[in-house]
Structure 1
Amino acid sequence: MPYTATFVPETQTRADVDATRGPLVLEFGANWCGWCQGAQPHIATAFAQAGAAVPHVKVEDGPGRPLGRSFRVKLWPTLVFLRDGQEVARVVRPQASAEVEQALRQIAGG
Structure 2
Amino acid sequence: MNESLHIVCPHCHTTNRVRADQLGSAPTCGHCKKPLFDAHPAALDEAAFDKHIGRNQIPVLVDFWAPWCGPCRTMAPWFEQAAAQLEPRVRLAKVDTEAVPNLAARFNIRSIPTLALFVDGREVARQAGAMGAADIVRWVQSHVR
TM-score, normalised relative to structure 2: 0.57
2:54 to 3, 19, 34: 19
Indicate yes or no: 2:139 matched with 1:100.
no
Deviation at 1:8, TM superposition (A): 5.2
Residues 62 and 23 of structure 1, relative CA distance in 2, 3 Å threshold: same
Residue type at the aligned position of 1:83 = V
CA separation of 1:63 and 1:75: change in aligned 2, threshold 3 A: farther
Supply the RMSD in Å over aligned alpha carbons.
2.8
Match of 2:3 in 1: none
* Residues 73-97 of structure 1, C-alpha deviations (whole Å, 9 max, x = no match): 1112111111111222222222322
Shift of 1:61: 0.6
- Kindly indicate whether residue 88 of structure 2 is the aligned counterpart of residue 41 of structure 1: no
Q: Structure 2 CA distance, aligned partners of 1:72 and 1:43? A: 21
Partner residue, 2:112:
76
Please point out which of 90, 105, 108 is paired with 2:126: 90
Higher RCO (CA 8 Å, separation ≥ 6 residues): 1
Q: Percent identity?
A: 26
**TM-score (normalised: structure 1):** 0.71
Q: Unpaired runs of 5+ in structure 1?
A: none
Distance (Å, rounded) in 1 between the aligned partners of 2:100 and 2:61: 21
2:98 match:
62
For residues 8 and 32 of structure 1, do their structure 2 counterparts lie closer, same or farther at Cα, with a shift above 3 Å needed? Answer: farther
Q: Deviation at 1:13?
A: 6.0
In 2, distance between residues paired with 1:64 and 1:30?
10
Alpha-carbon deviation of 1:39? 0.8
CA shift at 1:106, angstroms?
4.1
